[in-house]
Structure 1
Amino acid sequence: MQPTGTGRTDDQGTDFSMIRILLAEDDDVMREYLARALTSAGYHVTAVDRGTAAVPYIDSGTFDLLLSDIVMPEMDGIELAQHTAKVAPQTQVMFITGFAAVSLRAEENVPQAKLLSKPFHLKDLVREVDNMFGRSDRSSQQ
């Protein structure tokens, strides 16, 4: 699934659809839900269902943000983030998880990553991503 951004701009004319997000989430419903929210917010989103499916995209080095669940089959989000740090260090990382113990492990292994704990509201996710890319003005208007 590769929905694209809407081409929205901020007051300075910056086109945020150029910001590319790679979403790795093994839950089909959650993946669709998150991708739709981020696309509606103006981001270009590529969504995959597991960490191993994300690797070729990361290796291309064209993403601004890796948004990843932590607990996934084959390759977990922490391993994916560590791979990302090696091959695409410019790519920021944000984890989403519903497990407190797993979030502690993420903070220890990838301390520079943002962490969003489930459950969260879509507005919270969009606000966090907006803040990462300097879009906080838009977030405060919602």
Structure 2
Amino acid sequence: MARILLAEDDNSMRHFLARSLENAGHEVLAFADGEDALPALQAGPFDILITDIVMDRLGGLELAMRAQAVKPGVPVIYITGFSAITMEDAGEEVNFSQLLSKPFHLNSLVEAVDKALAAQQAS
């Protein structure tokens, strides 16, 4: 089981992802954007950050950089509806784990979480 910090600005998608991850046995702290997630980020601890890249007040790339400052090496799984997004802007300080393009199957998300946890435990 992992403690997952989830930032997704689409309400229905956020609830759906949180419920699916909880059904897979994880604890999920879900927020509407990166700005809302900051207090939970500071309160810690969390094992994985799952974040939408494009959000109004604080986007996923900035949230991931702040997460790395709090917990260096934390795995980050990005989700996006924009296929043109590249991870070149993420920078080396972000522990980029995987990019899932919407729409994606929930099994893909659960597999990405499992993969990130396995890699984290192996290091």
When the two structures are superposed, what TM-score results if normalisation uses the length of structure 1?
A: 0.76
Among candidates 97, 105, 109, match of residue 80 of structure 2: 97
Consecutive unaligned residues in structure 1, runs of 5 or more: 1-15, 135-142
Note if 1:121 corresponds to 2:105: yes
Aligned ranges for residues 24-103 of structure 1 at < 5 Å?
24-102=7-85
Q: Alpha-carbon deviations, 1:71-90, whole Å to 9, x = none?
A: 11110001101111112214
Q: What amino acid sits opposite 1:130 in the alignment? A: D
Q: What amino acid sits opposite 1:92 in the alignment? A: P
Assess if the C-alpha contact under 8 Å between 2:77 and 2:112 holds in 1.
Answer: no
Note if 1:108 corresponds to 2:92: no
Assess if the C-alpha contact under 8 Å between 2:61 and 2:90 holds in 1.
Answer: yes
Q: Alpha-carbon deviations, 1:5-50, whole Å to 9, x = none?
A: xxxxxxxxxxx2xx10011001000001100110000000010001
Q: Alpha-carbon deviations, 1:49-108, whole Å to 9, x = none?
A: 011011111112301011000111110001101111112214221100011222x0x343
Ranges of 4+ aligned residues in structure 1 off by more than 3 Å: none
Aligned residues: 116
Bigger drift between 34-43 and 90-99 goes to: 90-99
Q: CA distance change for structure 1 residues 90 and 57 in 2, over 3 Å: closer, same or farther?
A: farther
Task: Give the whole-Å Cα distance in 2 for the aligned partners of 1:48 and 1:100.
Answer: 23
SS at match of 1:74: coil
When the two structures are superposed, what TM-score results if normalisation uses the length of structure 2?
A: 0.86
What is the Cα-based RMSD across aligned positions, in Å? 1.6
Task: Give the whole-Å Cα distance in 1 for the aligned partners of 2:50 and 2:63.
Answer: 10
Assess if the C-alpha contact under 8 Å between 1:64 and 1:90 holds in 2.
Answer: no
Consecutive unaligned residues in structure 2, runs of 5 or more: 119-123
Task: Give the whole-Å Cα distance in 2 for the aligned partners of 1:34 and 1:107.
Answer: 26
Q: Which has the larger radius of gyration?
A: 1
Task: Give the whole-Å Cα distance in 2 for the aligned partners of 1:120 and 1:110.
Answer: 25
